[in-house]
Structure 1
């Protein structure tokens, strides 16, 4: 029985469709469907029934899936233990999109140099999706927002960045009052189902600001581009990304203090991939230290205001 077929079986179940599972592994939906059919022939049972575009496991499918999770996990752990003490193996990283489009490429570039024999698998998702996937044992580390609840003692957390909540506005509005902009200008809302969007919504409610909302979306990069195009203002975490560096936007500090959005690395303390996880954390810290030194140099080079 092909272990990759079992991995894709779990991906079909977790994503809810063969098309989505195929997209995540970079193959065609037909290829995934053929793999599922091969498993059904080998096991002699039907694993799924279709419900529109989604697939639902049969009773036999649920039994197979439960056993498949254990088999996939055991094989992965066996590989990790076999490579213990070696700079090789497989590191499965889950990440929020903003980290993937900002900090993570530099970290991965440094990690691949330090661990050239390591294979890295990357999956993007929301913080809660990543936390649940980590709990199931399908990820080794999650680059995510700190959960809003107390973490179990089995998990460890390493802070990477704190991003203050700011008003993002076209640069021509840079000198204006942030609250007045939120009241007056068209508003581009960050998805309230996400951590930063919830923080922004709580701030607006506390400040008794009812914005003229035109859009709501879950991409901080897209919001920054829309503000650059003059479509409105937004209230979002102040992300640091090369993709937004050239945009003609202003970041305005809020007049009332609010907690920043915090994201970092979450992992299981007893992970058999502790060596690779430790290397990943060191690479992340080195990238952040380099960014900090660059920011300090830029600050020193700025001309002083004349009296």
Structure 2
């Protein structure tokens, strides 16, 4: 039985879509369907079925999925153990999108130069999704916001960056009062389902500011572009991305103290890829020192 086929079955069940699973691994949906059919022939049972537009496991498929997770994780750990001495193999990295837009490309470039024998597999998601993927063994390391809860002792955390919450406004408002802007100008809200959006919402509540909300977005780059076009102002983490250098933006510090957004590297202490993860942390430290 091909463990790669089992791994892709898990992706189908997780995403509810053969097309999405195919997109994540870079193959066609037809190839994913053929792999699942091969598993079904080998096991003698139907593993998935359609419920509207979603693909869900059958009763037998659910039993297989529960066991397949540990089998796939065990095989990955065995392969990593065999390759650990050479610092080779794969490193599965889950990351929040804003890290991909700021410091992470430099870190990955440094890591790829230092460890060319390691293949990096990058997966984007929210911090909550990445922590859950780490718990399930689907990623080796998560670059995410520090969880709002106390981390289990079985996990380690390395801070990469602290980002202050700022008022993002068109450049012509560079000398304006940030609170007055939030009250007066149309407001482009950062998604409250995300860590930085929650922090911004908490600040507005503490400051007793009820902004004139225009819309709510989960993309910091989209927000920056709309602020540049004069559509309104926003309250966001200052991610320091080079992609906004050409935009006419003002970043105004808040008059009241607030916690910065913190993101870093999270991994399991029991990971068989600990030496490779340590190499990524070293590369991160070198990039951030520069």
What is the aligned partner in structure 1 of residue 249 from structure 2?
249
Deviation sequence 1:260-285 (CA, Å, 0-9, x none) = 00000000011111110000000011
Deviation at 1:83, TM superposition (A): 1.8
What is the aligned partner in structure 2 of residue 135 from structure 1?
135
Deviation at 1:19, TM superposition (A): 1.6
Deviation at 1:208, TM superposition (A): 1.0
In structure 2, how many angstroms separate the alpha carbons of the residues matched to 1:240 and 1:16? 35
What is the aligned partner in structure 1 of residue 173 from structure 2?
173
Deviation at 1:168, TM superposition (A): 0.0
**Partner secondary structure for residue 84 of structure 1:** helix
In structure 2, how many angstroms separate the alpha carbons of the residues matched to 1:49 and 1:84? 39
What is the aligned partner in structure 2 of residue 297 from structure 1?
none
What is the aligned partner in structure 2 of residue 191 from structure 1?
191
Alignment gaps of 5+ in structure 1: 291-307
In structure 2, how many angstroms separate the alpha carbons of the residues matched to 1:181 and 1:226? 16
In structure 1, how many angstroms separate the alpha carbons of the residues matched to 2:22 and 2:229? 35
1:111-260 → structure 2 map (5 Å cutoff) = 111-260=111-260
Structure 1 stretches of 4+ with a deviation exceeding 6 A read none
Deviation sequence 1:113-160 (CA, Å, 0-9, x none) = 111111111110000000001011111110000000000000000000
Tell which deviates more after alignment, 79-88 or 151-160: 79-88
Deviation at 1:30, TM superposition (A): 2.1
In structure 1, how many angstroms separate the alpha carbons of the residues matched to 2:173 and 2:68? 56
**Partner secondary structure for residue 119 of structure 2:** strand
What is the aligned partner in structure 2 of residue 55 from structure 1?
55
Alignment gaps of 5+ in structure 2: none
Deviation at 1:245, TM superposition (A): 1.7
What is the aligned partner in structure 1 of residue 90 from structure 2?
90
In structure 2, how many angstroms separate the alpha carbons of the residues matched to 1:281 and 1:41? 44
Deviation sequence 1:18-56 (CA, Å, 0-9, x none) = 121111112222221222122112211111121122111
Deviation at 1:256, TM superposition (A): 0.4
Deviation at 1:16, TM superposition (A): 1.8
In structure 1, how many angstroms separate the alpha carbons of the residues matched to 2:251 and 2:28? 42
Matched residue pairs, number? 290
**Partner secondary structure for residue 192 of structure 1:** coil
Is the aligned partner of 1:271 residue 2:268? no
What is the aligned partner in structure 1 of residue 35 from structure 2?
35
In structure 1, how many angstroms separate the alpha carbons of the residues matched to 2:180 and 2:77? 55
**Partner secondary structure for residue 86 of structure 2:** coil
Deviation at 1:84, TM superposition (A): 2.4
TM-score scaled by structure 1?
0.93
Is the aligned partner of 1:7 residue 2:42? no
TM-score scaled by structure 2?
0.98
In structure 2, how many angstroms separate the alpha carbons of the residues matched to 1:26 and 1:90? 16
What is the aligned partner in structure 2 of residue 301 from structure 1?
none
Tell which deviates more after alignment, 58-67 or 161-170: 58-67
**Partner secondary structure for residue 265 of structure 1:** strand
In structure 1, how many angstroms separate the alpha carbons of the residues matched to 2:30 and 2:78? 31
Deviation at 1:175, TM superposition (A): 0.8
**Partner secondary structure for residue 147 of structure 2:** coil
